[in-house]
Structure 1
Amino acid sequence: MATEAYSGSWQQLIDLAGQGTESAATARMSLASAGGSSNAPADGDLKHTDRPWTTAAGVADALRTSTATAKSNLASAHAGVTADNEGLASAGVLTSVLTSWEDRLRAVRDECGSLAPKLRLVGKDLGERNVKVKSSLQGIDTPSDPREK
């Protein structure tokens, strides 16, 4: 295929690749969506913050707390139901439903309690990784414009 069929960006990369490793090493690639939306960085660099991870951890903590409260409220609401309805078929059904909901709420509470610290750790780990990568690249001299030599 003739190189004229490629877009300008692809042609630039093909040209750089053909000029040897020194020129190819200065080629700068960016995310396809960079600068294309309000959420994407305008300079084409991938940015990371721990905010989404810590926010998700906070939501998991809040959900853990609310399910624990709901489980407690549910148990209080059912207190004495079996004794007051002894002999009725519905008493057994109510107890079964209560047990089922308590099990579900317990599972959600436990999962959220396990998930929150993991989410915080991801944010921390990614932030530390960013610092390590940035410091490892400090010694590389690159021109501001990839077409500069």
Structure 2
Amino acid sequence: MIEVFSYHSPIGYLNVEIKDNHISKVSFSETPLNNDSDSSLKERIFLQLDEYFDGDRQQFELPLAPEGTEFQKNVWEKLEKIPYDSTTMYLDLAISLGDKKKIRAVGGANSKNPIAVIIPCHRVIGANNKLIGYAGGLWRKKWLLEHELKHNPIKRTLF
């Protein structure tokens, strides 16, 4: 069974697709989908997204099932390990996968991440700390990175 619904975030709608009680897609949209679903997973997703956008959640604890090649899934698993309020470069991801020559393949897999925000592909930047490539638009990538920086509990306690 497939369920689809939208979550209204501060940076637009997030359209969510659930297959077999796992999140298979989260994508940005300008228009919402029908929100007739009343699954308990939907409630957990909304709660955790609310907490994230309120600055109270740094890591999601949701069942994910992104569809892609084994290489893409390996890249997406690496993305999930990038700490909140941190970034990494495409080259560093390629090296962590064992071959710096795979930098373009890593970029391609990152751009095909089907679960935006929850799998934090926004935390991958280009060389020289440049914001490049984000399916949701660079303004959203910038917003997400600034949001995480603003809500870093360690940095908040320093001020």
Normalized against structure 2, the TM-score is what? Answer: 0.23
Richer in strand (by share): 2
Name which one, 1 or 2, has greater alpha-carbon Rg.
Answer: 1
